[in-house]
A and B are shown apart, each in its own frame.
Chain A
Amino acid sequence: MDLFLQNIVNALQWGSFYALIALGYSMVYSILMLFNFAHGDIFMVGAYIGFGIATGLLALAAMAGLPVPGWLVLVLTIIISMFLTSFVGIFIERVGYRPLREAPRASAAITGLMIGIILETGNLALLGARRLSFPSLIDTVTFQIGSVYVTNKKIFIVAVSLSLMFGLHLFIQKTKWGMAMRAMSYDFQAVPLMGVSINKLAPLTFAIGSGLAAAAGILYGLAYPVLDPYMGILLGWKAFVAAILGGRGSILGAALAGFLLGFIEIFAAWIFPSTFRDLIAYSIILLILTFRPHGFFGQAHSTQLRL
């Protein structure tokens, strides 16, 4: 029972990474009807930008001789890196996806994959093959609730990701841009005729998705402080699975499926030998999709696809 609760805590943390990344996939999908396969690498870039900002801020504070608390650095890092990484997303949209809006979807997929490779290799070329370790900005404090151990980092990670998701929810439900996004995902042919500019909406979507990915990257760096250029590949593909599992283009579905994927993986590794994690986890997903072929919140679509 204790181990069960402990694993729930771990799964919440692990799932929040998937959920944050999956949101980016899902948002882009709901607007442009395509998946941004460079998204996993945007997560990686976000983590590296976060690393740069954090070390820069720490160095700045040390130079000025100010006793800046770690949590302030962390919050500043998250905000600044989300802002900067969103420009990476906008840039990728501009060069990689806008020229291909009318092209077959598969070409956009290839462009995304290739941009991902460029980001990985560019990073490798710029920073070398050594692995960087993310600075530990806040000291780990372990609380004991009952017999479950919870660190302050885990609470922070889950809290930040949940509040980001809530913020996104508010943005989509309450603002005019959010309304435009909802409308666009409802009907991508009629809505541009109603005066919604897709050339503004698409970069905005990419920016928000990339910002969320950057937050996920920094939180990931906080939990697992080793960064390497290929860290985004597997996490990105798995979050892609979560994004579709939730139902394509469904924001709530993507977040929930992200957490679900985290739970499945953590519990598969707990119940079975940990080497069987992927085997069990993805067999479950295969079964889910066999019986609910359109994900949790997705609508059954016609067989006519924009391929």
Chain B
Amino acid sequence: MDFKGESAKNMVNKKASQRKGRGVKAWLARVFGRIPLIGWLMGSLGAVLIEYFLGDALSYYLGLPKIPVLFGSSIILKKPALIPGALAYLLLVYALPVSLIAKSMTRPANRLARLLASRPVSLATLIHLGLFYLILHLWAEISDYRLLVLKLTMIAVMLTLSINVINGYMGEFSCSHPGFMALGAYGASITTLLLCVDDKLMGPALLPAAAGPWLFPLALIVGGIVASLGALVIAIPSFRTRGDYLAIISLAFLFIVKSLIENLEFAGGPRGMSGQPDYAGLPTVFIVMVLCVWTINNFVRSTMGKALCAVRDNELAAEAMTVNTRKTKIVTFMFAAFWAGVAGGLFAHVLRYVNPGSFGVQRLAEILAMLYFGGLNSVTGSIVGAVSFNLLSEALRPLELYKWIIIPLLFILVMLYRPTGLIAFTEFKPRELMRPKE
């Protein structure tokens, strides 16, 4: 049955691709429309391999001082004389190899995708993720800056996804996310500083150093649990009120958490804590992010997720239809706060420094912007929003101050022309994403 459905879809696809279209879009669809995801991954792998082995030589011959770190954005914005070289580099290293390899691999890639489609979906997902990780890893090998940007972007993805559960699927306007993040960051930092390293604040390590990296997931979980306990402060008032009143309850929570941490002398007070061990490598952050996407995607598609949407659309009706609204709200708040706390723990260990100042209303504005830019009620939207916001703000960094005029303007334009955000109300279906296109 399933197989039949697939083949029918393929027929439609083929017809669509054979139809004579006009314009760039139709041309692109004709040329690249039949490449499955795994084909693109192979192409990207080729590109990063080329960069990894030939990048230095290429950039030397193109007259660039070093490999363009973030797709040449800083070169294009700063040194106009080098623009042709940077563009040629982008073309030779990214655009041409990706498209050529992906195009030439269409047939084998589709065969592979068909093979994987007939196996359990977990296997296919693992293979795709493994390839994806390999690409990211090779890409980040070039410079530490790329590594940091990647890690922070992944943390932003986790934050945006977890706030989407509250603000999107539950339909509240929660402003407390930096607070959850702070709780998680401090919870995880205190755990690792107490157990795994010698430092001024927490004294000597209680456990041998070798145990440290293995305990790191535990520290993250501790951070997440602290955050989800904090979420109870908001979840319980949310039984009686919602909307704007809940918004300021959560805002008050944010101020309270920040002030509380500033007054915790054993955690460094307003100066913050530093010296977190370097446990949050790229693989760790990647695995935690994948786990986060996976659990949140399953959560919002579960019965609980449907109950959540019911509570959002009409709480009274949901209650009448036997949805336990209190349980739904508590579980959702704690679940979202847990992941925000885990993200906070990772954040603390990536930067290896936390202070209360980084969890203020400015962080809140950033998280809300990523969420609404990407779109509510959509896992894909959150990922797109977080990644585009982070890459954009890194790419425009050479503009310094003007960056914070251009990015808001862009966001306002998106809001004016797509008030619901880029991708809203769509389901994230890995199986659809990985399906063969031929």
Could you list which residues of chain A lie within 8 angstroms of chain B, going by C-beta atoms? 35, 95-96, 99-100, 103-104, 106-111, 113-118, 120-122, 124-125, 233-234, 237, 240-241, 244-245, 248, 273, 275-279, 281-283, 285-286, 289-290, 293-295, 298, 301, 303-305, 307
Contact = CB atoms under 8 A, between A and B. Distances in A.
B263 interface: yes
B248 A240 contact: yes
Contacts of A95: 412
Interface stretch (B48-56, B208-216, B397-405): B397-405
B409 interface: yes
Contacts of A237: 251, 361
10 contacts: A104-B376, A110-B373, A111-B416, A113-B365, A114-B409, A279-B263, A285-B252, A286-B233, A294-B245, A298-B245
B373 A286 contact: no
B167 to A, nearest CB: 7
A118 B259 contact: no
A293 B256 contact: no
A108 B173 CA distance: 13
Given A104-B420, A282-B256, A289-B245, A117 B365 contact: yes
A100 B162 CA distance: 26
Contact of A278 (B233, B255, B405): B255
Contacts of A108: 415
Interface in B333-369: 360-362, 365, 368-369
Max count, chain A CB within 10 A of own CB: residue among B233, B242, B259, B260: B259
A302 B416 CA distance: 29
A125 B401 contact: yes
B258 A289 contact: no
B281 interface: no
A267 to B, nearest CB: 16
Contact of B260 (A118, A120, A279, A293): A279
B52 to A, nearest CB: 38
Given A125-B401, A233-B361, A289-B252, 8 more contacts: A100-B416, A109-B372, A110-B411, A111-B416, A244-B247, A276-B259, A286-B237, A290-B237
Contact of A100 (B255, B369, B419): B419
A245 B412 contact: no
Nearest to B238: A293
Contacts of B236: 290
A114 B245 contact: no
B259 A278 contact: yes
B314 interface: yes
Max count, chain B CB within 10 A of own CB: residue among A96, A106, A277, A307: A106
Given A110-B369, A305-B243, A117 B408 contact: yes
A51 B26 CA distance: 57
In the complex, which range does the number of interface residues on chain B fall in? 35 or more
Contacts of A286: 233, 237, 249, 252-253, 256
B317 to A, nearest CB: 9
B244 interface: yes
Contacts of B416: 99-100, 111
A244 B412 contact: no
Max count, chain A CB within 10 A of own CB: residue among B240, B253, B312: B240
Contacts of A283: 252, 256
Contacts of B253: 282, 286
Contacts of A273: 263
A279 B249 contact: no
Contacts of B402: 121, 125
A120 B314 CA distance: 38
Interface string B377-419: 0000000000000000000000001101101110110011001
Contacts of B368: 109-110, 113
Contacts of A295: 245
B100 interface: no
Given A110-B415, A111-B412, A283-B256, A122 B242 contact: no
A179 B361 CA distance: 36
Contact of A244 (B233, B244, B315, B404): B244
Nearest to A35: B244
Given A106-B173, A290-B237, A305 B242 contact: yes
A125 B405 contact: yes
Given A107-B372, A118-B409, A286-B252, A307 B245 contact: no
Contacts of B104: none
B361 A124 contact: no
Contacts of B237: 286, 289-290, 293
Contacts of B252: 241, 282-283, 285-286, 289
Contacts of B426: none
B198 interface: no
A106 B376 contact: yes
Contacts of A279: 256, 259-260, 263
A282 B405 contact: no
B391 to A, nearest CB: 18
Nearest to B376: A106
Contacts of B242: 303, 305
B307 to A, nearest CB: 15
A307 B377 CA distance: 13
Interface string B300-337: 00000000000010111000000000000000000000
A204 to B, nearest CB: 23
A281 B401 CA distance: 34
Nearest to B247: A244
Given A35-B244, A117-B408, A286-B253, A275 B263 contact: yes
Nearest to A284: B252
Given A107-B419, A113-B368, A124-B401, A293 B245 contact: yes
Contacts of B251: 237, 240-241
A294 B362 CA distance: 27
A276 B263 contact: yes
Contacts of B316: 303
A307 B401 contact: no
A143 B259 CA distance: 35
Nearest to A295: B245
B415 A282 contact: no
A245 B248 contact: yes
